[in-house]
Chain A
């Protein structure tokens, strides 16, 4: 791994890990990148799984139901996979070795929405949760230095908080507020589409103090804001899922700069058509020069070259594509899909390659992919 690549990885906020002891530690071959995600086998059994960029993969732990997203601590020593909505479990593991540290559960009156983030100092693990009887969104606060004890909760800033991301270089987190109320008694049905108010909530990552709310114009109030990615300089991208008139073609992506700039990103109609009004995941590349947004319903992924405004660079046709993670270099991404395929894409060459398919025990990759760069061994 060359020095530039290491720096690129660092620039993207990719945690660097000490060298793994090759195959013995994790059961996958030694290479520069580790990809973590929920997965499912052909019989519907769910796992937390690990892959490398040669397409080797293995399951680290069984899960009682579908997992959703993996969050990494700032020092790269811990990672947490949260259950997919409306699951109540989470798994804490060591991404350096793949060892499971412990399992968590929300209180019975809460469930996870699937995403979490560590505070800047790594002391707190913050998870988006549903206080479903109250119909309110919460940030569950877990003490990462005291056995992940749940030490409290904060208002999330709205109903249906989904992805929460640590803002690089600040004691702050940014929360995508989907705006949709659900309740376990009615499964995944959205109960308040008529009155939904999606937004972005910026809050202090130490105590939950509100630092600002960003919203799109009223004509986009049916765009449930779910996923986001924040660059080191505070530029962010956000992707939505449209709950309004299904024949409409609203802008599904918005971008901005913290603390207060947010604007929809106009896309040409044929690109919007291919996204099917639904963004599943977002990521910047290692250098931050490109961003990608996956559209599993459209079986497409749109790649943008960042600028003011960001512009379409490429559109990839990949069936049920959703998971996205930055590669180490400028324009590099990893992608996964619901058919068990893993891809690497290089925007600079507009080149995509399939790294893995038909990995034993991994029939499907779940929605999100998290990349960890491994420090080169001397």
Chain B
């Protein structure tokens, strides 16, 4: 007794085409028993907030375009360009978690911020282009077609804070200017995409959107605990490798984490009628919302206390706090997986959460 709908799903799986969308489509068609309770409104609320947060990226990046152009034209100081970079990075870190929906097509998410970069592709590619100086990359359209590693914030960070250093009149400055324009373009596309979520991969129905958005938030939380903290600080202070941290050149590794967590807190704990606590309450799981809030408050407090230190300094002087923070984040993840998601009838990949 072959289940006809199963065969149908298989056929649909076979019909899947089209680059990076396939996995998301496969996920939305896949067989499963649990389904999200009606959560009309929540996905829309999250998407709305993402429109505003991406709009902030567009605005700060617009100022970054001017500041870098000023520095490269000899009218402005490097410090002004660096400050504008920080403002853009601050805005971006509020949306870093949303690596789904419109961030998937055309690799928009990775092009805006290629991370993690375990194979050091950004520095390798930058070193190569700094010596070969291909003219087409100095054009925003040219950079948009280049390797994802060259296109966004991390490449710009190296040019403004590290090597190869941008200086008025040099190739690096031309590249930096092209990158800033490219960042604006990508962020504008993301604003447009989040304003029309139903047309985006994984977001076509409210139910799929809630699943996709909450899964993305959980994935990001785990990335913060694993990639931004645990892998950097190691089991003991001697194992610490602060230069593995995100954005260490601009000294903002821990600031990024604090902002990431503030953004996740808004996704999970904002208190409007369509927000998650209200959904949990409707599902008789108000206490789950409370335990999530308490765990997040603890983690955020610790993250804020470390926010203004460099990772280099903190991994020496506050190694135990950093380990505690990563453990607190695992604790938050456990509440999401064991309490929040089941209360909403959502499934997280039990078998796919991390590498087994």
Contacts and interface: CB of A to CB of B under 8 A. Distances in A.
Nearest to B352: A296
A317 B190 CA distance: 29
A88 to B, nearest CB: 16
A189 B226 contact: yes
B10 A317 contact: yes
Interface stretch (B59-67, B231-239, B264-272): B231-239
Contact of B349 (A186, A187, A296, A354): A296
B355 A319 contact: no
A317 B110 contact: no
B107 interface: yes
Contacts of B239: 183, 191
A320 B118 contact: no
Interface residues of A, number: 71
A300 B121 contact: no
B329 to A, nearest CB: 9
A180 B226 CA distance: 13
A270 interface: yes
B350 A364 contact: yes
Given A183-B235, A189-B230, A247-B107, A339 B32 contact: yes
Contacts, number: 189
Contact of B226 (A132, A188, A274): A188
A300 B23 CA distance: 8
Contact of B16 (A40, A85, A274, A340): A274
B338 interface: yes
A191 B231 contact: yes
A319 B7 CA distance: 14
B17 interface: yes
Interface in B224-268: 225-227, 229-231, 233-236, 239, 244
Interface string A269-299: 1100111101010000000000000001111
B199 interface: no
A269 B22 CA distance: 10
B26 interface: yes
A315 interface: yes
Contact of A357 (B33, B119, B352): B33
Given A114-B356, A180-B355, A319-B31, A350 B231 contact: no
A300 B355 contact: no
Contacts of B227: 189
B131 interface: no
B9 to A, nearest CB: 5
A190 B32 contact: no
Given A68-B356, A185-B236, A338-B349, A352 B118 contact: no
Nearest to B13: A317
A72 B206 CA distance: 45
B119 A222 contact: yes
A206 to B, nearest CB: 28
Contacts of A367: 351, 356
Contact of A298 (B19, B23, B33, B34): B23
Contacts of A222: 118-119
B323 A278 contact: no
Interface string A173-214: 000001010011111111101100000000000000000000
A339 B120 CA distance: 37
Contacts of A315: 10, 13-14
B74 interface: no
Interface string B337-353: 01000100001011110
B347 A338 contact: yes
A296 B1 CA distance: 25
A135 to B, nearest CB: 9
B338 A352 contact: no
B338 A322 contact: no
A121 interface: no
Given A273-B19, A297-B23, A318 B31 contact: yes
Given A194-B244, A339-B347, 13 more contacts: A186-B326, A187-B226, A188-B226, A189-B226, A222-B119, A270-B22, A278-B355, A298-B23, A317-B9, A317-B29, A320-B350, A338-B350, A352-B6
Interface of A: 40, 42, 44, 68, 84-85, 114, 132, 162, 178, 180, 183-191, 193-194, 222, 224, 226, 241, 243-247, 269-270, 273-276, 278, 280, 296-300, 314-323, 337-341, 349-354, 357-358, 364-367
Interface of B: 1-3, 6-7, 9-10, 12-14, 16-23, 26-27, 29-34, 107, 110, 116-121, 148, 225-227, 229-231, 233-236, 239, 244, 323, 326-327, 330, 338, 342, 347, 349-352, 354-356
Those 9 A-B pairs whose CB atoms lie nearest each other, nearest first? A338-B350, A189-B230, A317-B13, A322-B351, A296-B352, A319-B30, A185-B235, A186-B230, A273-B22
